[in-house]
Structure 1
Amino acid sequence: MDARAWDDRYAATELVWSVTPNQFVAAETATLPPGRAVDLAAGEGRNAIWLAQQGWSVTAVDFSAVGLEKGRRLAGDADVTWVCADATTWVPDAEVGASYDLAVLAYLQLPSAQRREAVRRAWEALRPGGTFLLVAHDTTNLAEGTGGPQDPAVLMSAADVLGDLAGEPYEVLHADRVARVVPDGHGEQDRTAWDCLVRLVRRAG
């Protein structure tokens, strides 16, 4: 989907996503000292807003102006800067440069070549010692899980993401698939979705 299609999707309903942060983003960042964060492909800003509420200064980047405007309204006076840009081509302002303490990519669904560009944009925004965090629908979810995209081209594994950063200096804190419980909502048994979770610390090159 391109920016116009996402604009239409965001305009068609009050909220496409929840107002609460993704559970893995919240869990993995809860103990990090607040600093400067970038949320690439931020959508309506649920993760960016939550991070700002925890004391982070956040840059929320998305190519949907409609999604960002909804996030801006939800954020109130939270410390979030909203930037309309494509995650595969975004670069930080020259004044900021590679000074982010945290870079988040949550459920960005792109084919491998474009995904690699977004992953590297997030990585290049980090200072040495900064945290890279990606959460996405895992490749195995198609056959073993529930929900999520049905196009295998936009699914990924932790190994794929590490491959996107081949040659970069990092410490792996987490690189695997994780289970996400999806409530049935109809009184039936809850189901399991499988997500890819990669958390790295950038080391000095």
Structure 2
Amino acid sequence: MKETGGLTPGRALDLGAGEGRNAVWLAEQGWRVTAVDFSAVAVERGRKLARERGVEVDWQVADVTSYQPEVGGFDLVLLAYLHLPAPQRSTVLHRAGAAVCPGGSLVLVGHDLANLTNGIGGPQDPTVLQTPDMVVAELSGLHVSRAETAPRPVHTPTGTVNALDTVIVATRP
């Protein structure tokens, strides 16, 4: 994940980790990762992937809308393709931002609202999609260094087309 490439590994929190590809990749890069997802099935698949790759990840089955991460406890908080309605997204973003330690980073990547009309794939429910402005508005106390709608090439049987993602990179001073 290029958004984390220049960061020094430390403690990382992957919220909405799903089957754990990002959590395992971070662990392979030297991060000490806590991965949280509501699905016990997905977490078990993540555990299996981590074992196959020979890395340790602290897997937690929990609903991210009620999960309380350690305040200031993480050098990196990752939210990758976690799509929630606005009230839940606001709660999760506030807690995620609070979990970033001084000098740490928050990285969010998810399907952008513009993807509905100008992109491909992703959720088709506009209430769970976001824009950079929506996300930035929820990140108090963080310095936002990147906030954009970014094209992501998707290979299809008929050629390559772009999905549109919201990408946010922010740090705690």
Give TM class, smaller chain. over 0.9
Alignment RMSD, CA only?
1.1
- Residue of structure 2 equivalent to 1:7: none
- Residue of structure 2 equivalent to 1:54: 29
Structure 1 segment 98-177 matched on structure 2, within 5 A: 98-165=72-139, 168-177=140-149
Out of 136, 145, 150, the residue aligned to residue 178 of structure 1 is: 150
CA distance in structure 1 between the partners assigned to 2:105 and 2:73 by the alignment = 11
Shift of 1:97: 4.5
Shift of 1:189: 2.4
Greater RCO (CA < 8 Å, at least 6 residues apart):
2
Out of 41, 45, 50, the residue aligned to residue 75 of structure 1 is: 50
CA distance in structure 2 between the partners assigned to 1:169 and 1:90 by the alignment = 20
The alignment status of 1:33 with 2:1, answered yes or no, reads no
Q: State the aligned residue count.
A: 171
CA distance in structure 2 between the partners assigned to 1:99 and 1:173 by the alignment = 21
- SS of alignment partner, residue 43 of structure 2: helix
Shift of 1:84: 0.8
CA distance in structure 2 between the partners assigned to 1:190 and 1:126 by the alignment = 36
Task: List structure 1 runs of 4+ shifted beyond 3 angstroms.
Answer: none
Alignment deviations for residues 151-204 of structure 1 (CA, whole Å, 9 cap, x no partner): 110110010001112xx22222110100000101x2x2211110000000012x
CA distance in structure 1 between the partners assigned to 2:63 and 2:138 by the alignment = 18
- Residue of structure 1 equivalent to 2:62: 85
2:97–2:142 contact (8 Å) kept in structure 1:
no
Instruction: Kindly name which structure, 1 or 2, has the bigger radius of gyration based on alpha carbons.
Output: 1
Shift of 1:91: 1.6
Alignment deviations for residues 10-38 of structure 1 (CA, whole Å, 9 cap, x no partner): xxxxxxxxxxxxxxxx1011111100000
Q: Percent of pairs identical after alignment?
A: 48
CA distance in structure 2 between the partners assigned to 1:118 and 1:164 by the alignment = 9
- Residue of structure 2 equivalent to 1:13: none
- SS of alignment partner, residue 161 of structure 1: helix
- SS of alignment partner, residue 159 of structure 2: coil
Q: Normalized against structure 1, the TM-score is what?
A: 0.81
2:136–2:144 contact (8 Å) kept in structure 1:
no
- SS of alignment partner, residue 116 of structure 1: helix
- SS of alignment partner, residue 183 of structure 1: strand
Out of 150, 171, 194, the residue aligned to residue 164 of structure 2 is: 194
